[in-house]
Structure 1
């Protein structure tokens, strides 16, 4: 056993390496990252191609599948690429080949494909066994002169073939076709540009290497997408040209057609780059269905051979510009595009601007032209040397023939010629291989003409290699040829400013009347007038009753005040439409509220743009006025503070529409009347000021605006309604206790729970009155609350909770108070004290109700 253990230990020590896992992972991921950054996902700045694209184009060039040759099966091309240069899956090779053939993805397609190569609707291409492909004319310019040692070659994955590290690229393909890719820690997103503009910018940079980033804008106006569209945002384009990073907006090209005098149609003819048309149509139709945009009647895809066309029919009377703006904002008819111009420069990923990319391209072209010139110079000199030998041979042709005839073989002939006439190895090889018919006078003249041409070519090539200006002139000449051959007009329209679209949701809502019901327990429902009129009973939870029931417009807004000093901003159109007999939606499911929060008052607001004021009163007697305009908000997904309250305080009542006086009534029956001008106007975040002095165990029950000519009705906890008149109440300053309004009895006392004013006009119209108990609702009219001889008023409901008197239909007229009433208001306060103290130091409360009997 010991021998085996020793052998095992020896094997382990020799064969197994001990390394930390994090070191292994770090090294492995580092190698992987380097590979996918340099050799997979990011394009080279010189030719603008990723390795798989370069290998596809080179393999097709080697196969002879040029633009002027017949197409070959895509499967054969993909197989050749995979077998020789790209040891990955055939699907990745074919997908790359398909993308290079799609004219809606590539500004200049590099592959010409026969068959189904996908569509702008997101359809995938047919399988590679069905399609055929060849190089496009544009790709031919990327591969041009590759056989003249213009670029470096490296062994392929199995060292059996050679592949180029970069293509000669006779135009700046990276900017023209753009690129998109994701690798480890890096991503690139370069939009396509117009070939003419990019070449003009390149030639301008060759002429003036000191051009600035902003000078580039004179040539490159911005992206030029194959799908056209409108590009907005000159600032984003400037930033991208300078830094390689920026943001623009791509908007569809649209037009508005008139179907009839009152009906329009939106027509989309160009969509943003890389937006799938079928998905866009589906998205707009989903917006129509889910968002209840009733102004869109139908959407159709009418694309045919003549071009892309999406028709959006609108209903009669619909605002076409509003609907178009809504679709721009909420669909892919308009998208944002973020530049991220990362490319491989000197084997490193770099974020760079246009100027740097063009400088790299120009340096690449210098290298390509130099390498090509060296190759052509070597070939021309070699041929010139041979031609010189052939011309020299013509003067001694007979002697040469004799020497060849006397020689034993070809090698012997070459040696003998070289020894006798002084020809070189190359010249002697050409002489012995010469056909006899070439010795005619015509061919001799051709040789002399060829010599002259070769001498001129050698001079020109030497000039290119020795003179920088001539080299740059050559690059410009070739770029100009590409521009004239391949260039086309810009497709995308550039607009300097990004249009800021603001959509008022109300503009999308159909203007119609609807019924809103809100219960005291917080259930909200919205129903059509038809459902309301057809329903015999309202759907309610047990022991619940409607606190608010009103016919409102869908464009109005509900302001719902709660006892915690908050208000809920709820547009009517946001409430789900239900049947009137349904229970409704609990308010917490619309806007989250606290568990102990309950609704106390609801108003339907048509507009916030007026001078309306609201009166807010707390249980502890704090009171303030706020402007209605302050209540308008744009975000309304949570309760908003209306009044700052202490821990034990609550908001108990809210009134609207400022009048001359404020009437405040306490739970124990005290009433105070004072001038409205005494109460300050505050913001929503503030608390109030003391409005009424409260006795021990007392609290404010209700407070409201009133005119001196008004009557008012107050509801007691025992369900009694008592009528009184404002003019009979003495006026005090704020923060007084007031006078006793209702007699206190020891057993089952009447506590005030709610109150409402009634103007002369309301009395005249005999308006409706809503009386709520803790369990039910009683609807009656004002005459039913007429004055009773009982000092505790008229018994109306089981227990009092809330009273509301409907506003008059006709506007209220101003009624002047008579002089007699004014005098009474001035005299009465002197007689009616709040309390009288007797000789025995006993305090007696005075009440105007002392003359009445007990109930």
Structure 2
């Protein structure tokens, strides 16, 4: 017994070696197509085995199980399910532009339904598949032994059609993947013929003939630049969109009809997705989505509600469903035993070279066959010319072998000629047969001359190739199904498509709670039963459309944006969502103003003022929310003084005339100036000086007011007074202003807050203290005071606390009311 050889290797070496061999096998012999015939090994073996068994288009169908068994037993020693799945794929006309197998029975569907078991279905090669195998018996391709060395199988099929691009391919192997879309046969042949005649043709020249993929499911391709990139580098991306139309129904309604869907999309999943969006109310206006596909073709009907925005809904569905997809080219194929990413011209050149090789090998085979036959025919003609001598020689021979030997020796026939003469039947010894042989000789000589010309003259070879491709085009080419558009169209979805336009009640509280409630819930509840804690109160209660926009401003100069439809929808008596659940605020940061606007493109500005006397205007368009608005607040006012805070934010409409800004400091200095004196600045700026403050003083509020408005002022001692706005002269910005309080030596009054209100307002204002406590003050109970008066006491500071804010009282069914109320 010879001693065994033991090798010491590390695990890394063993794993690397074994995985490398496995990877090579997967790449070359399983998942990636060959650039020449566009087939993976299992597909090639299926077509070869069915052709070998005579299971062709001109004969009857046979059980699929029989074909699968033949493939598995003779060529492909793998599971029968994988072979059958490959066979089914080759028969599916929504996956292949030109199916290579015809199948009777259920071969699956665009809904993702599996095919019936192979014992139920029948199959045969399609007519065009015959071109894949044409001339395979003429030594056109290399043959190799099968897995058990009992039969031979081709390493590649002759593939007289450019199958790689015609039917495309999809596969994933070790380290490589491929995604090649189907193309139009007629266009491919036109491109091949052009390149055959113009070897230096540019990609642009070829793309005039082959503009892009032609999917079996039709649809619309957008993005010619993506196609060009893919044809140049092998990688690229295009948008594939369903073919749709908007039809009118009876009763003024409309319907979106889908006739073609993107390649590879599961139709049933698509319809389910549309209905899921409808049920989840992600899109408004869809009444029903139905699959109406029948024998006449694909059809999806999306019925819309009356007065629905059909184009808007279609745009939303294109954007959010598989009615539009991104198709990514990754054109990888096996070229000379190596995986390569190929472009269009690379493939066309490779295919032409392969076909030239096929024709050359076929011609050599036919030439040899004709030469062999011509040799025999010439021998027979010679034999018939000396027939009596030949017969005499045969008759005196001992046997057949001796007869052949004598013919060779006596008349200089070759062995093959002698064998043919001996095998000649007696009825062939007629004058007629001599004529037939002479005709055959002339025909063979002509064919041999033609074959020799093909082999010696490349232009003749190219002419033969061109003629054969034109014949194929004439018989099998079909019109283009997929439309190609140059640019990818942008999908704009109006908010009205995704959000139902309905009125709701919106509330923002001092403590940071926000919510929206249906009007039904609001009206069925007590106004004050709003779910807030005892120490909290509303900053804003307003009826608004779900299509409106809410801006919340903090004392630290930030703005928080929320579309009204995204606010938490709860009952009126529920608390709602706290702003900290999505956006973190600083410990000392609080919301001081909330504003609801109908549109984001309004021409107005936000007037922002701070406690250190700064003010600025910022265009509403500057506050347009970014993609991170749900989790991040934006800075709208830069604070120069670390101790300063934002005190008020108001929306200013330029078209409203006769408005001025009124600001009053804590020590009672009031200043009135034009809005136009405040420049419009961008975000992250500190503004300009609104009022010139003394040391230790601060601006308490800055409000918009009309000339005939009035001011309601509250002091820290609980005194309330009214005064007319026009008592303050309109002056320049950044001045000290005039006193609106009577200065006391002991415990002087200081401004806590003030608001402006119309002269015809007769309701109540609400004073809020630091506890908080709430004190209503009826305007009708008080009279206008002078600029130098201190008003009358309305709040008992000992029992109620120190006043910090005043506002128009928020009541049920109120119009827009905010903590820092203005006449606007």
Residues 721 and 796 of structure 1 are in contact (CA less than 8 Å); yes or no, is this contact kept in structure 2?
Answer: no
Residues 312 and 494 of structure 2 are in contact (CA less than 8 Å); yes or no, is this contact kept in structure 1?
Answer: no
Q: Where does 1:120-269 land on structure 2 (aligned, <5 Å)?
A: 120-260=110-250, 262-269=252-259
CA offset at residue 403 of structure 1? 3.3
CA offset at residue 261 of structure 1? 5.2
Are 1:525 and 2:521 counterparts? no
Equivalent residue in structure 1 for 2:780, among 770, 780, 783: 783
Are 1:296 and 2:290 counterparts? no
CA offset at residue 320 of structure 1? 1.1
Deviation string for 1:266-307 (max 9, x for gaps)?
000100000110111111112222343221111000111111
The 3-state SS of whatever aligns with 2:14 is: helix
Question: What is residue 541 of structure 1 aligned with on the other side?
Answer: 532
Q: After alignment, is 749-758 or 134-143 more displaced? A: 749-758
Deviation string for 1:651-676 (max 9, x for gaps)?
12223337654333344555444554
CA offset at residue 541 of structure 1? 2.6
Q: Where does 1:316-335 land on structure 2 (aligned, <5 Å)?
A: 316-335=306-325
Question: What is residue 554 of structure 2 aligned with on the other side?
Answer: 562
Question: What is residue 297 of structure 2 aligned with on the other side?
Answer: 307
Q: After alignment, is 301-310 or 390-399 more displaced? A: 390-399
Q: Where does 1:463-612 land on structure 2 (aligned, <5 Å)?
A: 463-537=453-527, 538-543=529-534, 544-589=536-581, 591=583, 593-594=585-586, 596-612=588-604
Question: What is residue 20 of structure 2 aligned with on the other side?
Answer: 30
Q: After alignment, is 289-298 or 312-321 more displaced? A: 289-298
Task: State the TM-score, normalized to the length of structure 2.
Answer: 0.90
CA offset at residue 182 of structure 1? 2.0
CA offset at residue 372 of structure 1? 0.7
Query: CA 1:593 to 1:16, structure 2 compared with 1: closer, same or farther past 3 Å?
Result: farther
The 3-state SS of whatever aligns with 1:517 is: strand
CA offset at residue 188 of structure 1? 1.8
Query: CA 1:395 to 1:121, structure 2 compared with 1: closer, same or farther past 3 Å?
Result: same
Q: Where does 1:93-108 land on structure 2 (aligned, <5 Å)?
A: 93-108=83-98
Q: After alignment, is 313-322 or 99-108 more displaced? A: 313-322
Q: After alignment, is 226-235 or 193-202 more displaced? A: 226-235
Q: After alignment, is 419-428 or 703-712 more displaced? A: 703-712
Task: State the TM-score, normalized to the length of structure 1.
Answer: 0.87
Q: Which runs of 5+ in 2 are unaligned?
A: 817-824
Q: After alignment, is 41-50 or 71-80 more displaced? A: 71-80
Deviation string for 1:696-750 (max 9, x for gaps)?
6554332212345432113345665432333445767625375363767978x87
Are 1:614 and 2:610 counterparts? no
Query: CA 1:775 to 1:157, structure 2 compared with 1: closer, same or farther past 3 Å?
Result: farther
Residues 691 and 736 of structure 1 are in contact (CA less than 8 Å); yes or no, is this contact kept in structure 2?
Answer: no
Deviation string for 1:465-497 (max 9, x for gaps)?
111111111111111111112111111112222
CA distance in 2, matches of 1:554, 1:396: 109
CA distance in 2, matches of 1:361, 1:25: 37
Are 1:84 and 2:74 counterparts? yes
Residues 221 and 482 of structure 2 are in contact (CA less than 8 Å); yes or no, is this contact kept in structure 1?
Answer: yes
CA offset at residue 649 of structure 1? 2.9
Q: What is the RMSD computed on CA atoms of the aligned residues?
A: 2.9
Equivalent residue in structure 2 for 1:338, among 328, 334, 338: 328
Question: What is residue 793 of structure 1 aligned with on the other side?
Answer: 793
The 3-state SS of whatever aligns with 2:90 is: helix
CA distance in 1, matches of 2:85, 2:59: 23
CA distance in 2, matches of 1:20, 1:595: 60
Equivalent residue in structure 1 for 2:645, among 635, 643, 650: 650
Are 1:458 and 2:448 counterparts? yes
Q: After alignment, is 629-638 or 494-503 more displaced? A: 629-638
Q: After alignment, is 766-775 or 524-533 more displaced? A: 766-775
CA distance in 1, matches of 2:717, 2:111: 72
Query: CA 1:421 to 1:679, structure 2 compared with 1: closer, same or farther past 3 Å?
Result: closer
Are 1:277 and 2:267 counterparts? yes
CA offset at residue 441 of structure 1? 3.5
The 3-state SS of whatever aligns with 1:338 is: strand
The 3-state SS of whatever aligns with 2:147 is: coil
Equivalent residue in structure 2 for 1:766, among 755, 762, 771: 762
CA distance in 1, matches of 2:434, 2:343: 57
Question: What is residue 821 of structure 2 aligned with on the other side?
Answer: none
Are 1:64 and 2:63 counterparts? no
CA distance in 2, matches of 1:780, 1:83: 98
Residues 172 and 178 of structure 2 are in contact (CA less than 8 Å); yes or no, is this contact kept in structure 1?
Answer: yes
CA distance in 1, matches of 2:103, 2:92: 9
Q: After alignment, is 500-509 or 514-523 more displaced? A: 500-509
Equivalent residue in structure 2 for 1:628, among 611, 620, 634: 620
Residues 664 and 692 of structure 1 are in contact (CA less than 8 Å); yes or no, is this contact kept in structure 2?
Answer: yes
CA offset at residue 591 of structure 1? 4.8
Q: After alignment, is 666-675 or 292-301 more displaced? A: 666-675
CA offset at residue 678 of structure 1? 4.5
Are 1:804 and 2:807 counterparts? yes
CA distance in 2, matches of 1:173, 1:415: 53
Q: Where does 1:391-410 land on structure 2 (aligned, <5 Å)?
A: 391-410=381-400
The 3-state SS of whatever aligns with 2:249 is: strand
Question: What is residue 362 of structure 2 aligned with on the other side?
Answer: 372
Query: CA 1:708 to 1:498, structure 2 compared with 1: closer, same or farther past 3 Å?
Result: closer
Deviation string for 1:743-768 (max 9, x for gaps)?
67978x876443211222xxx24256
Question: What is residue 736 of structure 1 aligned with on the other side?
Answer: 736
CA distance in 2, matches of 1:588, 1:133: 65
CA distance in 1, matches of 2:815, 2:106: 71
Are 1:448 and 2:438 counterparts? yes
CA distance in 2, matches of 1:441, 1:679: 121
Q: Where does 1:679-718 land on structure 2 (aligned, <5 Å)?
A: 679-694=678-693, 698-716=697-715
Query: CA 1:743 to 1:262, structure 2 compared with 1: closer, same or farther past 3 Å?
Result: farther
CA distance in 1, matches of 2:613, 2:776: 30
CA offset at residue 26 of structure 1? 2.8
Deviation string for 1:158-215 (max 9, x for gaps)?
3332221111111111111111222233222211111011011111111221211111
CA offset at residue 554 of structure 1? 2.4
Query: CA 1:263 to 1:717, structure 2 compared with 1: closer, same or farther past 3 Å?
Result: farther
CA distance in 2, matches of 1:711, 1:719: 19
Query: CA 1:53 to 1:287, structure 2 compared with 1: closer, same or farther past 3 Å?
Result: same
Query: CA 1:40 to 1:163, structure 2 compared with 1: closer, same or farther past 3 Å?
Result: same
Query: CA 1:603 to 1:739, structure 2 compared with 1: closer, same or farther past 3 Å?
Result: same
Q: After alignment, is 184-193 or 266-275 more displaced? A: 184-193
Residues 757 and 805 of structure 1 are in contact (CA less than 8 Å); yes or no, is this contact kept in structure 2?
Answer: no
CA distance in 1, matches of 2:577, 2:253: 37
